[in-house]
């Protein structure tokens, strides 16, 4: 049985179709990501799955249950991190954990002082701190901890690492992998391409309430990302003494110089002098580029290959950039 199944989900706010006929399935034990820009409909979708918003159409099953009708039963088995949450200022971290744990029939797998939960989230020494004295990133990590106190079968994480510094973000990714290793299914939303690419087994790309593509990051990149980028800065080698440094007569300039290389689809000349070749077969383009450069006396400074990313997938699907 799928951990989550959604069919033709629709949610309107007045004239806005925030979620416009979305269907997908999440398998048990996977980390599934909903990736999309601001306003794409991620929070609306996830809150329909959590039973917090009432859809206008479609069918949802979460762990085999109906999120509205079977709300109490479902609540015991899932964890929820909302995009915006606030706790009372004068509750201590330890008290918040106890309070949340008391809402569930089942006991989580964590130690008496929540070591297994707090240490990986960098909060082990914060048990007695008041909520209001935590930094924004610490509050965010506490909200993740609170979603996991009872060891849920499935956890919903809306904007998992927004506001976290890069080091904390990586630590959270590692912890989410650990949680999944223990059998928890993870459903998250993000607008960070890197997060989707590094963490998720499968990703649904959501834009303007519709799913544009769904698959593993590698599948999506192979299908829609298309080309790798070969980047370098061409420099004329110092000519041997005695010979002139002027270009050879008839030598092509600008982008045209590189366009004839095998498998090159496009050439971009950057303002800083770097050249970007978009290639469908980077190894062949690279070999030809190096031969060409040697025979013409060019140095290829800073030469490197960048493979396509989910950013390229989003650009290919929407014509817009998704900056995360």
Q: Which residues bind Mg ion (CB under 5 A)?
A: 42-43, 83
Query: From the list 4, 9, 24, 44, which residue makes contact with ligand ATP (rule: CB under 6 A)?
Result: 44
Give the chain's radius of gyration (CA, Å).
25
For ligand ATP, what does the binding mask look like between residues 182 and 221, x meaning CB under 6 A?
A: ---------x------------------------------
Q: Are 197 and 309 in contact (CB under 8 A)?
A: yes
> Binding of ligand ATP at residue 317 (CB under 6 A)?
no
Distance, CA of 51 to CA of 72 (rounded, Å): 10
Alpha carbon distances (Å) from 286 to 218, 236, 273, 274: 22, 18, 19, 15
> Binding of ligand ATP at residue 39 (CB under 6 A)?
yes
Nearer to ligand ATP by Cβ, of 37 and 297: the residue is 37
Least Å from the CB of residue 264 to ligand ATP = 36
DSSP of 204-247: EEEETTEEEEEE-HHHHIIIII--EEEEEEEEEPPPPTTS--SP
Query: From the list 16, 127, 168, 171, which residue makes contact with ligand ATP (rule: CB under 6 A)?
Result: 16
> Binding of ligand ATP at residue 84 (CB under 6 A)?
no
> Binding of ligand ATP at residue 83 (CB under 6 A)?
yes
**Nearest-CB residue for Mg ion:** 43
Q: Are 91 and 133 in contact (CB under 8 A)?
A: no
> Binding of ligand ATP at residue 42 (CB under 6 A)?
yes
Q: Taking Cα atoms as reference points, which of 115, 118, 122, 119 lies closest to residue 167?
A: 122
Residue 161 structure tokens? 């690492």
Q: Taking Cα atoms as reference points, which of 7, 188, 215 lies closest to residue 82?
A: 188
> Binding of ligand ATP at residue 38 (CB under 6 A)?
yes
Nearer to ligand ATP by Cβ, of 36 and 225: the residue is 36
With CB under 5 to 8 Å by kind, the binding choice for 151 among Mg ion, ligand ATP, none is none
SS3 131: helix
Query: From the list 18, 123, 196, 211, which residue makes contact with ligand ATP (rule: CB under 6 A)?
Result: 18
Neighbours of 225 (CB within 10 A): 21
Least Å from the CB of residue 47 to ligand ATP = 8
Least Å from the CB of residue 317 to Mg ion = 20
Using the contact rule CB under 6 A, the part of the chain among 10-18, 110-118, 173-181, 259-267 near ligand ATP is 10-18
Neighbours of 1 (CB within 10 A): 9
Least Å from the CB of residue 13 to ligand ATP = 3
Alpha carbon distances (Å) from 140 to 60, 77, 81, 215: 28, 22, 9, 28
> Binding of ligand ATP at residue 13 (CB under 6 A)?
yes
Least Å from the CB of residue 250 to ligand ATP = 54
Nearer to ligand ATP by Cβ, of 82 and 231: the residue is 82
Distance, CA of 123 to CA of 126 (rounded, Å): 5
With CB under 5 to 8 Å by kind, the binding choice for 91 among Mg ion, ligand ATP, none is none
> Which residues contribute to the site for ligand ATP (CB under 6 A)?
13, 16, 18, 36, 38-44, 83, 191
């Amino acid at each position: 049985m799928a951990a989550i199944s959604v069919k033709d989900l629709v949610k309107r706010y007045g004239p806005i179709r925030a979620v416009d006929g979305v269907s997908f399935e999440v398998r048990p034990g996977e980390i599934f990501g909903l990736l999309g820009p601001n306003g794409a409909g991620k929070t609306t979708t996830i809150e329909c799955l959590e039973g917090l918003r009432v859809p206008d159409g479609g069918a949802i099953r979460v762990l085999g249950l109906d999120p509205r009708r079977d709300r109490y039963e479902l609540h015991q088995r899932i964890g929820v991190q909302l995009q915006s949450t606030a706790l009372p200022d004068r509750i201590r971290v330890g008290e918040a954990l106890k309070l949340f744990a008391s809402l569930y029939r089942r006991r989580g797998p964590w130690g008496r002082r929540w070591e297994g939960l707090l240490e990986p989230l960098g909060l082990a020494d914060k048990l007695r701190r008041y909520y209001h004295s935590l930094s924004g990133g610490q509050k965010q990590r506490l909200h993740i901890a609170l979603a996991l106190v009872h060891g849920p079968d499935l956890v919903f994480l809306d904007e998992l690492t927004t506001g976290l510094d890069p080091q904390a973000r990586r630590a959270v990714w590692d912890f989410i992998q650990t949680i999944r290793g223990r059998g928890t299914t993870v459903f998250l939303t993000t607008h960070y391409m890197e997060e989707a690419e590094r963490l998720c087994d499968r990703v649904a790309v959501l834009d303007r309430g519709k799913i544009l593509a769904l698959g593993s990051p590698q599948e999506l990149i192979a299908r829609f990302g298309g080309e790798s980028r070969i980047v370098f800065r061409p420099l004329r080698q110092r000519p041997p003494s005695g010979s002139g440094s002027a270009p050879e007569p008839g030598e092509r300039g600008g982008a045209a110089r590189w366009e004839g290389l095998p498998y090159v689809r496009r050439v971009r000349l950057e303002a800083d002098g770097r050249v970007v070749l978009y290639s469908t077969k980077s190894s062949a383009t690279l070999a030809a580029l190096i031969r060409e450069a040697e025979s013409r006396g060019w140095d290829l400074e800073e030469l490197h290959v960048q493979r396509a990313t989910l950013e390229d997938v989003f650009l290919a699907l929407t014509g817009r950039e998704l900056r995360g």
